[in-house]
Amino acid sequence: MHARLSCPLLFSLVLCLVPAAHLLAEAPPNTLSATEVQEGWKLLFDGTSTAGWRNFQKEGVSPGWQVVDGELRRVEKGAGDIITAEEFGAFEVILDYKISPGGNSGLMFHVTEENPKPWHSGPEIQIQDNLAGRDPQKAGWLYQLYKPEGDASKEADATKPAGEWNTLRVLITPAACETSMNGVKYYSFVKGSPDWDERVAKSKFSAMPAFGKATKGHLTLQDHGDLVSFRNIKIRPLDAK
């Protein structure tokens, strides 16, 4: 004769057999966990508005950028590049992007506004559809400056296809910088180092005196004429208090 388990005991056994990850719902997009808040992260996009952003050298955000289904989308011709209202020096930023087939965009940092274009001052992390994109600079590369090399080379591509979400992580500090795509480290560098200066001198940016010189500036999302969506844009300022 077998003993019958009581309901509370049976429920406890079921809980032990089901992984915790399946018991907890995923955090909604464009939100911060309690741990992230404690670590100093903050949202740059709330999922409902363009608050905290404006067009480069302008006030407000053009109609070409729209918030749709919790995504910040570049949807119309002439949208223009948008920048954060706030400036950042040392920081870690994470965002999700979804690029259209053949599409192109970018994330720039340390952008200042005394030049005609954001990329005249701010280095750009490339965003594009690597399969059908027309630019030889691939997604996640620091435009014309750094890409996966050595053991991480073989034209490394950790991106997901156009139409799917990718997660880009960028760390910028005076001592060390790093870029990762979907959890895969692509490269590291030191902004302003001799290696950096040598690479800039061999690039098109050598003709731009302000390029890469600022140690603090705006983050920029690029309008390259294609549909692109962003969400979960989070930043953790790392400047010394």
Chain center to CA of 25: 24
| Of the candidates 191, 222, 189, 46, the residue with the CA atom closest to the CA atom of residue 118 | 222
Task: Examine residue 197 and state whether it is found in any structural domain, yes or no.
Answer: yes
Task: Examine residue 14 and state whether it is found in any structural domain, yes or no.
Answer: no
Please give the Cα distance from 46 to 31 (Å, whole number).
7
CB 170 within 8 A of CB 179: yes
Task: Examine residue 21 and state whether it is found in any structural domain, yes or no.
Answer: no
Task: Examine residue 20 and state whether it is found in any structural domain, yes or no.
Answer: no
Provide the residue range defining the domain that includes 142: 28-237
| Of the candidates 241, 225, 235, the residue with the CA atom closest to the CA atom of residue 74 | 225
Verdict on whether the full-model pTM lies above 0.85: yes
What tokens appear for 160 in the block? 């997901």
For residue 189, give the CATH number of its domain: 2.60.120.560
Task: Examine residue 1 and state whether it is found in any structural domain, yes or no.
Answer: no
pLDDT in tens, the chain (241 residues): 444 444 444 334 333 434 433 333 457 899 999 999 999 999 999 999 999 999 999 999 999 999 999 999 999 999 999 999 999 999 999 999 999 999 999 999 999 999 999 999 999 999 999 999 999 999 999 999 999 975 544 557 999 999 999 999 999 999 999 999 999 999 999 999 999 999 999 999 999 999 999 999 999 999 999 999 999 999 999 986 5
Task: Examine residue 100 and state whether it is found in any structural domain, yes or no.
Answer: yes
Look at the alpha carbons of 56, 62, 64, 65 in this order and tell me if their dihedral is positive or negative.
positive
